[in-house]
Chains A and B, each alone.
Chain A
């Protein structure tokens, strides 16, 4: 009797790591998608700055929230601004492989 009734609890206990892992995977996917969105915005801000004759990198970084500013690489050449961003690392070892990239182009001031 007691053995049967404890089975559900044991299964639930064993399932907690699986649930935690699933939640982490889901959050990592969402974090990566959000990082794509941020990289897009940063690239656009950088390109708009280029069109206005200003520096791309400060403008691109300024378009990001504080936590993301140190997680991006910004490069600009010929009106094209490229932003590579690492999403927050919820699953160590995987996040670094989820680096996302975005770029935008606008007519530069010197062309």
Chain B
């Protein structure tokens, strides 16, 4: 069943002229709303009008359909129909099935009221022509009724002029204010309403689902890029892990004592190859298909500690076949810890009467020869059922001051600067159940009970005197760590004596100096670096001048200056890794961050020397950290 043709009912209060012209103007505006002129009927009671010479095709079509049944005339854009006052309803019914898109009846107020009040009829709007202010009250009453009935309603307060009236009655656009007003009124009253919600709802629902899918696809595209980056990160970290694990093997002897090849030893080329293989394995394992993969080792020379993985691949955007090129780069490092741990123990004593290397027993620092003697003492005690405990060893003056402040009684705590603990030779031993055994046996191992009232306090008296220059050099410990004694086997024989002499003079571990020379120049006294560092110890000219080294290519003098510089740096930074970093990158860089600076060259330099010391059995192998740098 087709929808009934809408009506736009127009009337005029008595005395208000121009109502029919208004109705005609509204009909014309309605006919011209769309692109092509629509068929619109203007009805009036009685009367007879002639067709105009020019009329729209739609008006002519309606005219042809109604001819013979009703007085009808196609006039311009509209089709005029005369209604019989006695059967005007029949006439309207006929008009509504004539094919017109709108019927605009101009009726007297009583018929207009009757038509508008009928809920079953099809008016879509009502228009009243009234003179305001003269008929304001009556017009207001009619408007209120229309609003109460929910009827779109408009009031026209001015009659059109003569020309617009004539044009409108001829079916022509009246123009001017009349035409504009009619057009606005028609737009407001005939706003299309029925049946629009469903497409709107369907459209909105589709838009919501599509928006969700679009967001998910965008997310997938971003995720594709992120996955490439993830693969690069994991490949770099895996390669870094390989380097971390393999690093100590670089410094293991190439041959065992019997001359057989050492299976633990790894040469630098194999070290890099293994890291590269692990990186490729990680890329494949992380489901990146056939990207371009580049693995490189920036900085660090032969023994790098940094690896760079660059991937180039395609990520899918919006389905198969729509790939987009993407690139990801990651750099990882197997480097020395960026900053010493909070509980890192100093390698060299500072702030007391002893300033040589420190050895640790049960976490307590002491002179290395004291540590060796303690080992013998503890072993003997253990054989007699006593597990000796070291409660205190070397104490700096600051630590002693803190103890004295907590218990300021000289009978129990020596004032700062007077305690023998500042010499690194004194140990407070326990438990109390061992005091008897210690009193009887400790002397045999070089330990003397210092005070009758302190059964726990023993001093080592078999070595150099406490707090003496000889004591500072008493680093011939049996623990094999920072001993200045045996030099690593990689030291050429002609440099063994100069290194031992410099180490002894400046109280720096000889193995440390040897490892540095190996890393700096490979013991080549004529080496010159790209940055301008010269000689066996790779002194920059300014640093050489500051240390009174006139000829950096003189290996004996260069080694002496190197030992002096390292002694200064060890005193200043307290930690071997920091002192080495300062030697390579300059003290300012280390002081700025309190760490090994994050330069690839410095990281590799420090790691290599620690590795050399570890491989030579002079220091525990460095615990490198694997971390993403970029």
Interfacial residues, chain A to chain B (CB-CB below 8 A): 1-2, 4-5, 7-12, 14-15, 18-19, 21-23, 25-30, 32-34, 36-37, 40, 44, 47-48, 51-52, 79-80, 104-107, 109
Complex contact A106–B119 (CB within 8 A): no
B216 at the interface (CB under 8 A from A): yes
Bound Cα distance from A44 to B212, whole angstroms: 26
Complex contact B198–A106 (CB within 8 A): no
Complex contact A22–B197 (CB within 8 A): no
Question: In the complex, which residues of chain A have a beta carbon less than 8 angstroms from the beta carbon of B119?
Answer: 1-2
Complex contact B278–A32 (CB within 8 A): no
Bound Cα distance from A36 to B213, whole angstroms: 14
Using an 8 Å CB-CB cutoff, how does the interface string of B309-329 with A read, 1 for contact, 0 for none?
000000000000000000000
Question: In the complex, which residues of chain B have a beta carbon less than 8 angstroms from the beta carbon of A79?
Answer: 285
A30 contacts which of B124, B200, B216, B230 (Cβ < 8 Å)?
A: B216
Question: In the complex, which residues of chain B have a beta carbon less than 8 angstroms from the beta carbon of A7?
Answer: 193-195, 197
Complex contact A18–B241 (CB within 8 A): no
In B481-515, the 8 Å CB interface with A consists of: none
Instruction: Kindly list 7 other residue pairs between chains A and B, CB separation below 8 angstroms, not including A8-B197, A105-B238.
Output: A8-B196, A26-B215, A30-B219, A33-B220, A51-B237, A51-B240, A109-B241
Closest to B7 in A: A1
Complex contact B194–A18 (CB within 8 A): no
Of the A-B pairs whose beta carbons lie under 8 Å apart in the complex, a sample of 15, sorted by A's number, is A1-B123, A1-B124, A4-B193, A5-B150, A8-B193, A8-B194, A11-B201, A12-B197, A18-B202, A25-B212, A26-B212, A36-B219, A52-B241, A106-B238, A106-B241
In B578-617, the 8 Å CB interface with A consists of: none
Question: In the complex, which residues of chain B have a beta carbon less than 8 angstroms from the beta carbon of A12?
Answer: 197, 200-201
Complex contact A1–B233 (CB within 8 A): no
Q: Provided the pairs A37-B223, A52-B626 are in contact, do residues A11 and B3 lie with their beta carbons within 8 angstroms?
A: no
Bound Cα distance from A28 to B213, whole angstroms: 10
Question: In the complex, which residues of chain B have a beta carbon less than 8 angstroms from the beta carbon of A44?
Answer: 230, 233-234
Q: Provided the pairs A8-B196, A44-B234, A106-B237 are in contact, do residues A33 and B204 lie with their beta carbons within 8 angstroms?
A: no
Complex contact B205–A22 (CB within 8 A): yes
Question: In the complex, which residues of chain A have a beta carbon less than 8 angstroms from the beta carbon of B222?
Answer: 37
CB distance from B196 to the nearest CB of A (A): 6
Q: Provided the pairs A1-B151, A105-B282, A106-B282 are in contact, do residues A30 and B212 lie with their beta carbons within 8 angstroms?
A: yes
A18 contacts which of B201, B237, B242, B626 (Cβ < 8 Å)?
A: B201
Interfacial residues, chain B to chain A (CB-CB below 8 A): 3, 119, 121-124, 150-151, 193-198, 200-202, 204-206, 208-209, 211-213, 215-216, 219-220, 222-223, 226-227, 230, 233-234, 237-242, 245, 278, 281-282, 285-286, 625-626, 628
B242 contacts which of A10, A11, A107 (Cβ < 8 Å)?
A: A107
Complex contact A107–B230 (CB within 8 A): no
Closest to A34 in B: B219
Complex contact B150–A2 (CB within 8 A): yes
Complex contact B201–A32 (CB within 8 A): no
Q: Provided the pairs A4-B3, A8-B194, A32-B216 are in contact, do residues A25 and B241 lie with their beta carbons within 8 angstroms?
A: no
Closest to B283 in A: A105
Question: In the complex, which residues of chain A have a beta carbon less than 8 angstroms from the beta carbon of B245?
Answer: 109
Closest to A12 in B: B197
Complex contact A48–B122 (CB within 8 A): no
A29 contacts which of B122, B213, B223, B239 (Cβ < 8 Å)?
A: B213
CB distance from B120 to the nearest CB of A (A): 8
Complex contact B208–A22 (CB within 8 A): yes
Complex contact B212–A27 (CB within 8 A): yes
Closest to A107 in B: B238
CB distance from B226 to the nearest CB of A (A): 7
Question: In the complex, which residues of chain B have a beta carbon less than 8 angstroms from the beta carbon of A33?
Answer: 215-216, 219-220, 223
Q: Provided the pairs A2-B119, A37-B226, A107-B278 are in contact, do residues A19 and B208 lie with their beta carbons within 8 angstroms?
A: yes
Question: In the complex, which residues of chain B have a beta carbon less than 8 angstroms from the beta carbon of A34?
Answer: 219
CB distance from B313 to the nearest CB of A (A): 16
In order of increasing CB-CB distance, the 3 nearest A-B pairs are A26-B212, A15-B201, A11-B197
CB distance from B309 to the nearest CB of A (A): 12
Bound Cα distance from A101 to B599, whole angstroms: 38
Q: Provided the pairs A48-B234, A48-B237, A104-B234 are in contact, do residues A22 and B209 lie with their beta carbons within 8 angstroms?
A: yes
Question: In the complex, which residues of chain B have a beta carbon less than 8 angstroms from the beta carbon of A18?
Answer: 201-202, 205
Residue of B219, B242, B625 contacting most chain A CB atoms (<10 Å): B219
CB distance from A28 to the nearest CB of B (A): 8
